[in-house]
Structure 1
Amino acid sequence: MTEGLQHRRVETGERYDVFHTDCLARDTVDHVTSRWGVWVLISLRRNDLRFFELRDSIRGISEKMLAQTLRVLVEDGLVWREVEPTTPPRVTYGLTGFGREVGEPLKELFDRITRRLSAGTD
């Protein structure tokens, strides 16, 4: 909830400080690192997917949570959405350039964790 918060405009070259509630980047960081945001970005790293393909690729996510997560990631410019005017409408999602850039460290993190767990070491 952002009611009552005042967002200040950041001048070009000025650093963002995500630890302050008025930082413009904070919402995007929250969306990317949310429970489902991470998985959406990782799932879209290989292919553009339709809504139900994306839902099926992320086990445990409800349609409502997927729709909410996609909405904010589209608003943040991380994910694009294309609607084909068919009956029913065919909706496809994919990563923007910014989404690929932000998602790369998440993929690396996921790969490192998986390698570590696969090796069975502590």
Structure 2
Amino acid sequence: MNSSMSIDHYGLTNDSRVVIKHEGIYIVHASIHFMSVSSKDYPLYSVYKTDSLGGNQQLVSKCMITPGVRQAPDDTNVYPCQTWQIIHLKQGEQVFMSIGRYTWFQVEKETFHLALIKLNDYSL
């Protein structure tokens, strides 16, 4: 959130939750490229939304890496994990990512993000 346009449309809490300033339909895109995943690791991340007070947590999307037979790294030995979801968000709701289920892994900081793209001004 480094542009004035982002600040006009989104807020950021002290614990890195994105606060929605304008109700509408949004694309929520999350991406993490995991590196150095061992056969014991099954890292995953989830994207959640909450009400304006940070309660009533609801799952928006989830992505999990299963190394080995089911999933192989790309040519650079990275396990990409991306999610896309179209969702209605109300003013004041909060969106955040949570990472879990791993023993140790590295993440490429250039491919670690949560993006919200507002599609319209529609409200229910």
**TM-score tier after normalising by the smaller chain length:** under 0.3
When normalised by structure 1's length, the TM-score is 0.24
Higher RCO (C-alpha 8 Å, min separation 6): 2
- Higher Cα Rg: structure 1 or 2? 1
Q: Which has the higher helix share?
A: 1
